[in-house]
Amino acid sequence: MLKIFYLIILLSSIMFSQQIDFQSPENIKLFADFLFCDNDYLRAIDEYEKYLVAVDDDLVQFKITIAYSSMNDCENAINKLGLIKKTSPFYEQSKIELLKSLYLQNIDSVFYAVAETLINSKSLYANNAYRLKNTALLLSKTELPEKESFLIPFEVEEKKTISDFYNLKKNPPYKSEALAGVLSAIIPGSGKIYTKDYGDGITAFLLTGLFTYLAYTNFEHDHPTRAWIFAALGAGFYVGNIYGSVASAQIFNAKVNFEFNEGVKLFLEDKKYFTPNYDFCK
């Protein structure tokens, strides 16, 4: 609705005014607001910067940071957030936005320092920072705190999901590489079945068994050349199935890690990194 409102004002100005100063701060801001609400953030930033040359406007300063953040330009967002004054009504929001950008930029040391500062402050967004920090810990190599204290900052509807992530982080359902190898050494293919690679496991069992059987029958019927060929093929498949089972366990574990990390990241995206909801376009 706000975009239509801006267009109506602009068109009305053209129709009813003989002398329009398109470069006046008011019209520059009006156009910038239209671009911002149309998600044309790059051009909106250019117009807002022109406006700020003439007018010191806290809201516009903050909207520039939101525009950069919306374009996933975290580096510029961080730089602009540093310009938000302590006297600005958007100062507290700027800190949680800064925390989000630091997280997305993987600037861990600064991220955790800013998070702790926010958590220990009396900011309205202290709990937001606490939730973002704890969720980020799930993706780090840092030892997690006790589960009860870890879940404290989260809302009731979030705790089940976070609790599941916590359990997976503490006890990931990895497959033992050594056990996979040993199983396949005892029964060819069983190591791959253990790692849920059922197709390859059954194939390894059948082929190793087939070549072993062919080698045995050819030795029994005094066909040594063919027997040794089949024995060599059987031995190759046998050794290969052991190595493949170890590799299958490694792949399984890598998949567990990938799915866990992606799940946490999707959760954060869904929660918008625990930043407030802004609607500047009503």
pLDDT band for position 4 (cuts 50, 70, 90): low
pLDDT band for position 18 (cuts 50, 70, 90): very low
Tokens of 36: 């911002």
Q: Regarding predicted confidence, which is higher, 62 or 239? A: 62
Using a cut of 0.75, tell me whether the model's pTM lies above it.
Answer: yes
HSE-CB for 7 with a 13 A CA cutoff: 7
Alpha carbons 199 and 227: distance in angstroms, whole number: 28
What is the SS3 string spanning 77-131? HHHHHCCCCCCCCCHHHHHHHHHHHHHHCCCHHHHHHHHHHHHHCCCCCHHHHHH
pLDDT given for residue 279 in this prediction = 85
pLDDT given for residue 191 in this prediction = 87
Per-residue pLDDT tens for 204-215?
888 887 777 777
Q: How far is CA 105 from the centre of its chain?
A: 11
pLDDT score of 7 more than 70: no
Q: Regarding predicted confidence, which is higher, 90 or 235? A: 90
Alpha carbons 66 and 45: distance in angstroms, whole number: 10
pLDDT given for residue 233 in this prediction = 80
pLDDT given for residue 226 in this prediction = 80
pLDDT score of 137 more than 80: yes
Per-residue pLDDT tens for 173-227?
999 999 999 998 888 888 899 999 888 888 888 888 777 777 778 777 778 888 7
Per-residue pLDDT tens for 113-124?
999 999 998 888
For residue 110, the tally of other CB atoms under 10 A from its CB is 14
Long-range pairs, 180-186, Cβ under 8 A, ≥24: 180/245, 180/246, 180/248, 180/249, 181/242, 181/243, 181/245, 181/246, 181/249, 183/245, 184/241, 184/242, 184/244, 184/245, 185/242
Q: Are 226 and 217 in contact (CB under 8 A)?
A: no
pLDDT given for residue 20 in this prediction = 52
pLDDT band for position 1 (cuts 50, 70, 90): low
Average pLDDT, the chain: 87
Helices 91-104 and 108-120 meet at what angle, rounded to 10? 150
